[in-house]
Amino acid sequence: MELTLDEVRHVAALARLGLTDAEQELMRDQLSSILGHINALNELDTESIPPTASVAALQNVWRDDTVQSSLPREQVLMNAPRQNEGCFEVDTPLGGEESSS
């Protein structure tokens, strides 16, 4: 299971990671090794096993619509490298507008 450098660069771009040439090589090797490991699953005969999106034998696990208290703001922000006006501060992302769901 050998990833190409182009695939590594594509995944890095999606994750907004800038990788040096050497890091790209390193990531190719490591990711390839991980995928190779997972790929071992393909050796299993799954002919008689129905496909599923969930391995837990659970469904309809939900809660009532009630409000409980949130974390104190000091705790919410305690690990933020930069804080400002009670918010996390970041450099404005390219484009400058909100992502749209």
Partner 1 sequence: MEAGSATVIMVQFAIFARSLETGRGVEIDVTETIASTRFETVIGLEVHAQVLTKSKMYCSCSAEYASAEPNTHVCHVCMGLPGALPVINREAIELCVLTGLALDCTIAPFSKLDRKNYVYPDLPKGYQVSQYDLPLCQNGTLVFESNGEPVTAGITRVHIEEDTGRLLHRTASDGSDISLVDLNRSGVPLMEIVGEPDLRSPEHARDYLIALRQILRYIGASTGNMEEGAFRCDANVSLREAGSTEFGAKVEIKNMNSFRAVERALRYEVERQQGVLEAGGTIEQETRGWVDARGVTVGQRTKEAAHDYRYFPEPDLPPLALGADIVERIAARLPELPAARRARFVEAFGLGEPEAAILTGERETADYFESVCESAPAEGRSRLAANWILNDLFGLQRERGLPPDRMPVSADQLAGLLDMLEADQISARAAKELLAQLGPGETAIDKARSLNLLPLDDDDAIRTAALETIEAFPAAADDYRNGKKAAIGRLLGETIKRTGGRARPDAARAILEELLNSPS
For position 53 contacting partner 1 by CB under 8 A, the verdict is yes
**Residues within window 24-43 making contact with partner 1, judged by CB under 8 A:** none
Tokens read off for 94: 């390219």
Contact present, 39 and 24 (Cβ < 8 Å): no
Task: Give dist(CA 13, CA 3) in Å, integer.
Answer: 15
Q: What is the largest CA-CA distance in the chain?
A: 57
Q: Which of 75, 95, 73 is nearest to 85 (CA)?
A: 73
Whole-number minimum distance, CB 84 to partner 1, in Å? 6
Among 43, 49, 62, 81, binds partner 1 (CB under 8 A): 62
Stretch near partner 1 under the rule CB under 8 A, chosen from 20-28, 32-40, 42-50, 93-101: 93-101
- Closer to partner 1 by CB, 46 or 70: give it: 70
Task: Give dist(CA 94, CA 15) in Å, integer.
Answer: 14
For position 45 contacting partner 1 by CB under 8 A, the verdict is no
Q: For binding to partner 1 (CB under 8 A), which residues are involved?
A: 10, 13-16, 53-54, 56, 58-68, 70-71, 73, 76-77, 84-101
